[in-house]
Amino acid sequence: MKYFLVIDEGTTSVRVISYSLEGKILAIKQKEYEQIYTKPGYVEQDINDIIKSLDRCVLETIKELGDDIISIGIANQRETTVLFTKDAKPIYNAISWQCRRTSSLCETLKQQGLEAKIKAKTGLKIDPYFSATKIYWLLHNVPHALDLANNGKLLFGTIDTYLMYYLSNGKIFKTDVTNASRTMLYNIYSKEWDKELCKLLDIPLSMLANVYPSKHLFGYTSCDSIFKKEIPIMGVAGDQQAALFGHLGINKGDTKITYGTGCFILTNMCEDYQNIDDSLITTLGVEYDNKTNYLAEGSVFYGGSLIKWIRDNLGLIKTAKESEACALAVKDNLGIYIVPAFTGLGAPYWSPEARGIICGLTAGANKNHIVRAALEAICYQVNDVLSLIAKNNKLNNVYVDGGAAVNDFLMQFQADISNMQIKRPNNIERTSLGIYYLLALAYGINICDLVKDDYNLIYPLMNKKERENLLDGYKKAVLKALNN
Ligand code: ADP
């Protein structure tokens, strides 16, 4: 049987999803791996664990479906940084996108007045999240790393790059535009590594992979790899951009909201990057037809994890799913608001000092009101980001995915508070679907022939007055969190 094989390398697990030519899922294999917390705020991953998990998923897939693989594609957690020698040996654990170890370096860069310059070149805000300062940290903290780098013997990769290098036995040293745009070293307008930024952070250009469109013949797996034969790698993209493409969010204003641990909001601006509000970041979307797509991106730090917090830390619910029944058991939030500013507030407030609050408590309040307020808090935060995007642009289709998007109350409240229609797919497997679309396009399949409209439409039902009252209540709660 001929099939496409998609590797979805995420933060906590790797999944190998196999698609038929027509886009039907044939098999999903998944293996989890550990996150390594070495100190508060430090998050690493052992690359060998990732590779072992990938190899097992591939072997299980081949055992079940055979090895007639047409092509391979990769979606990956973004920004996570690995430095490795030319024989594919990592010199240290991968530093996770979540790791905050370079906060003080980022502060120094800001104090040097570099924020505007970096934004103008990379579309990003200076933040430990992006790869650049993680590379700097590794070069200056791992013995001999800087020497190896200066002698052209050390390579940097986001995980896509490392996986391709590993699978091709060192023949492919490449990345795609979506991943390059998350490094804080790539000029997203001239579409090249920025020499000035690399120099500023002591990063030799020889460490950086060549950058290609997301749909591209990146190269072939090696006969010595787990695949035991040469198979073309034809599609690569960062997971968030892949998911937007998986919804076929290819027109101006098409938006994707992922409700996972955090929430990621991406809107396709096509070529119109000038209209992206300055408090958001600009990033590159999947490139498949020689056109550059600029995306407006904003994120919410505490999304589904707020529900996990009220489950594990407050013990108000036993499962995340139960949150929906609790919220529906009461007719409103009884004036209670939660602002989960546990580590400060992001867009549009950008206050690292803000702290979380639960406010508006009265004697009639019970746990259901608090659970409801937690779900509502996710929607208010997403709404803040959507409002920034919608300030200068019209949102077109708004698609949702992620683990918490199954919650009907959450989706209805989002539609209500943002006063917009939401499209929720029956198949929430959007990240790997985006990569499948790239592989199918590269194979000559017209994906428009394949796409069936499998979306549930969620319409706004709340009246204007109620919406305004609620938004006003949330705004007052945010002021309290900011003044904490
Ligand atoms: P990630 O990919 O970021 O690990 P997922 O997309 O798997 O996350 O979503 C899991 C998150 O969503 C968890 O934080 C969990 O608390 C939350 N979640 C899962 N199911 C629900 C639900 N039915 N209602 C609300 N939140 C949920």
Pair of tokens at residue 210:
């060549």
68 and 181 belong to one structural domain? yes
287 and 236 belong to one structural domain? no
At 324, the pLDDT band (50, 70, 90 cuts) reads very high
* Domain end (from 210, 240, 270): 240
* Domain end (from 240, 258, 289): 240
Q: Where does 423-463 have alpha helices with state H?
A: 430-442, 447-450
Q: Are 396 and 296 in contact (CB under 8 A)?
A: no
pLDDT tens, position by position, 5-59? 999 998 888 999 999 999 999 999 999 888 898 888 888 999 999 999 999 999 9
Does the pLDDT of residue 347 top 90, yes or no? no
224 and 309 belong to one structural domain? no
- DSSP assignment string, 152-185: T-EEEE-HHHHHHHHHTTT---EEEHHHHTTSS-
Does the pLDDT of residue 330 top 90, yes or no? yes
pLDDT tens, position by position, 78-121? 999 999 999 999 999 999 988 889 989 999 999 999 999 999 99
Best residue for ligand 1 mutational test, from 11, 43, 261 (most atoms within 8 Å of Cβ)? 261
Does the pLDDT of residue 204 top 90, yes or no? yes
Q: Can you tell me the distance from the alpha carbon of 294 to that of 432, in angstroms, rounded to the nearest whole number?
A: 21
Closest ligand 1 atom to Cα of 402: 6
276 and 185 belong to one structural domain? no
Does the pLDDT of residue 458 top 90, yes or no? yes
In the prediction, which pLDDT does 224 show?
Answer: 92
In the prediction, which pLDDT does 69 show?
Answer: 97
In the prediction, which pLDDT does 453 show?
Answer: 67
Pairing outcome for strands 154-157 and 192-193 = unpaired
Question: CB under 6 Å to ligand 1: residues?
Answer: 12, 260-261, 304-305, 307-308, 320-321, 323-324, 402-404, 406-407, 410
Higher pLDDT, 86 or 346: 86
Q: What is the mean pLDDT of the chain?
A: 94
Average pLDDT (261-273) is: 91
In the prediction, which pLDDT does 100 show?
Answer: 87
**pTM of the predicted structure, to 2 decimals:** 0.92
Average pLDDT (290-315) is: 92
The total number of structural domains that make up the chain: 2
Helix, strand, coil percent content, the chain, rounded in steps of 5: 35, 25, 40
Does the pLDDT of residue 213 top 70, yes or no? yes
**Strand intervals (E) in 301-450:** 337-339, 357-359, 398-401, 422-425
* Domain end (from 192, 223, 240): 240
213 and 299 belong to one structural domain? no
In the prediction, which pLDDT does 11 show?
Answer: 85
Task: Examine residue 436 and state whether it is found in any structural domain, yes or no.
Answer: no
In the prediction, which pLDDT does 66 show?
Answer: 96
pLDDT tens, position by position, 414-429? 999 999 999 999 888 8
111 and 28 belong to one structural domain? yes
198 and 266 belong to one structural domain? no
pLDDT tens, position by position, 45-77? 999 999 999 999 999 999 999 999 999 999 999
Q: Are 304 and 402 in contact (CB under 8 A)?
A: yes
Q: Can you tell me the distance from the alpha carbon of 210 to that of 193, in angstroms, rounded to the nearest whole number?
A: 9
Average pLDDT (175-198) is: 97
Higher pLDDT, 103 or 458: 458
CATH number at residue 179: 3.30.420.40
User: What's the angle, vertex CA 16, arms to CA 433 and CA 160, rounded to 5?
Assistant: 80
Does the pLDDT of residue 484 top 80, yes or no? no
Average pLDDT (136-162) is: 96
Closest ligand 1 atom to Cα of 305: 14
In the prediction, which pLDDT does 242 show?
Answer: 97
% of residues, the chain, pLDDT over 70? 100
Distance of CA 337 from the midpoint of ligand 1 (Å): 21
Q: Whose CA is nearest to atom 23 of ligand 1?
A: 321
Task: Examine residue 445 and state whether it is found in any structural domain, yes or no.
Answer: no
Does the pLDDT of residue 172 top 70, yes or no? yes
Q: How many helices (H) and strands (E) does the chain have?
A: 16, 24
7 and 127 belong to one structural domain? yes
In the prediction, which pLDDT does 278 show?
Answer: 86
Best residue for ligand 1 mutational test, from 97, 308, 401 (most atoms within 8 Å of Cβ)? 308
70 and 52 belong to one structural domain? yes
332 and 260 belong to one structural domain? yes
In the prediction, which pLDDT does 392 show?
Answer: 83
275 and 190 belong to one structural domain? no
Task: Examine residue 464 and state whether it is found in any structural domain, yes or no.
Answer: yes
Print the domain residue range for 467: 248-429+454-484
